[in-house]
Every structure is written in C-alpha cells, then in structure tokens.
Amino acid sequence: MTHTTLAAAAAARAQNVRQRADRPSQRRSAEQAGSRATVRAALSGVQVRDADDGTTMEFRGHASVYEAGYEMWDMFGPYTEIVSEGAGRDSLARADLDVPLVLGHDQLRRMARTTTGTLILTEDATGLSVYAPVLDPTDYDVAYIAPKLRAGLVDEMSFAFRIEAGQWSPDYTEYRINRYDIHRGDVAIVGYGANPNTVGSLRQPAAAAPANSRARALLELAIAGD
C-alpha cells in the first residue's frame, strides 16, 4: 500500500461516504474487485499432537487478533481495518450460536461445530479464541490438514462474519469494526487470508504416555473474513 494510493482512496471516500458509520462498500482483502473479504491470521509454532485420550486431536487458535490493523480494500481503494476488543461479545453470547470450523470456507468440509459442542468460541486478551477439543483424526479433512499444519505448509486462518457496527476514522484511512455477527458464519483454516497478526494451535495428544509426560504443543492461528 503506497501513501499516495491510501491518500487518494481516503479523499474519494470522504467525498462519497455519507456517514462515518457506513460500512465499507465492496469490502475485500485484495485490490481486485470480487476478491473475498478474508482476514488473515498467521500461525506460528505450528505443532500437532494426539489428544489425551489417544483417539482424538485438539485444536486451539485465534481466528482474529483484536486491536491490530491490517490492509483491506473497498470500492475506493486501500484502507486499514481494525477489529475492536469485544466486538464479538453479543454474537458469541447467543444460545443458538451456529459456527463450524472448516477448511477454506467450504461449508461441506466441516471438522467441528458449536451446535455439537465440538467447537468453543470465546474472546480473550488476544482476540477471537477457537477451541476444538475432540477432532476426529479419521475424518478426511482432519487427516488431510494435520500434516500440512505440522509441516508449516498451511499456517493461516480466516473467519466469515457480518459487520453490524463500525466507524471510519475522521480522515477515512481506517475502519474500526465495533460489533460483528459470526452466527452462521465460520472459522476456517486457509492458505491465505488478510490479517497477519494472530496465532493459534492444533494439537494431538498421545494416549499411551503417562499423564505427566504427555507432550503439549500449540499451533497459533488467526483470521477474519466477511
């Protein structure tokens, strides 16, 4: 993103956006029109381990890092986007929250889901925390992605959501998401997204080892998409 391009986009936005509370139009994570609005969260220290029961895998991560800027685009050009701390509080509190953990935002490649108790989403000091305590290693998608995560070939996440409230900065170079709705969206492991700030974890505990010697490791992931 060049300063000139950012400034030109902000000037056009200031002339055409009616209210600072208006959401970005044609929001996306790349310059090309029609690109997905995926918010990338890069993984670090990627490791996979067997679950404590020896028959399942455990995944921990962050699908979004709050209060950390990342580049996005709208119909006028580039801008910086930030997800505010606590932006998902109301959505995550829904009794009927329905969000799956998927591969590449493909709704048929589900590995866990909040409605079945196999996916737990919360907010912490980092952002949107993702916890899948009982992934089935015999599931095709789990078996497919686990070695790629171990090898560092795939190391990002993204989450699909709807913006419910936000505001442009006075100079229209930054948009802050103050409230989002993730119900019937998803948290996804992806090749590339848009927000490179977060970290997460997938682990697979070893069954035969004694409890005090079982290996523990975290795979730091994070992402947001729209």
**Residue 65 CA, distance from chain mean position:** 8
Quote the pLDDT of residue 156.
Answer: 79
Are the CB atoms for 112 and 43 separated by under 8 Å?
no
Q: What is the mean pLDDT of the chain?
A: 81
At residue 179's C-alpha, the angle toward residues 160 and 168, to 5°, is 100
Cβ partners under 8 Å of residue 164, min gap 6: 91, 179, 180, 181
- 79 is written with which tokens? 């801008």
Work out the average pLDDT over 166-191.
95
The residue count of the chain comes to 226
* Across 98-107, 162-171, 206-215, least confident range: 206-215
Read off the pLDDT band of 64 (50, 70, 90).
Answer: confident
Cβ partners under 8 Å of residue 20, min gap 6: 167, 168, 169, 170, 172
Read off the pLDDT band of 201 (50, 70, 90).
Answer: very low
Work out the average pLDDT over 105-124.
95
Task: Determine whether 132 is exposed, middle or buried from the number of CB atoms within 10 Å of its CB (0-12, 13-18, 19+).
Answer: buried
Give the pTM.
Answer: 0.79
Work out the average pLDDT over 177-190.
94
CB atoms within 10 A of CB 174: 17
Work out the average pLDDT over 167-189.
96
Tell me 40's DSSP state. -
- 107 is written with which tokens? 């709704």
Phi, psi for 142 (deg, rounded to 5)? -65, -45
CA nearest 8: which of 78, 70, 69? 78
Work out the average pLDDT over 106-110.
94
Are the CB atoms for 220 and 84 separated by under 8 Å?
no
Quote the pLDDT of residue 210.
Answer: 33
Quote the pLDDT of residue 52.
Answer: 67
Read off the pLDDT band of 31 (50, 70, 90).
Answer: confident
The residues that bridge with 178 in the sheet, in sequence order, are none
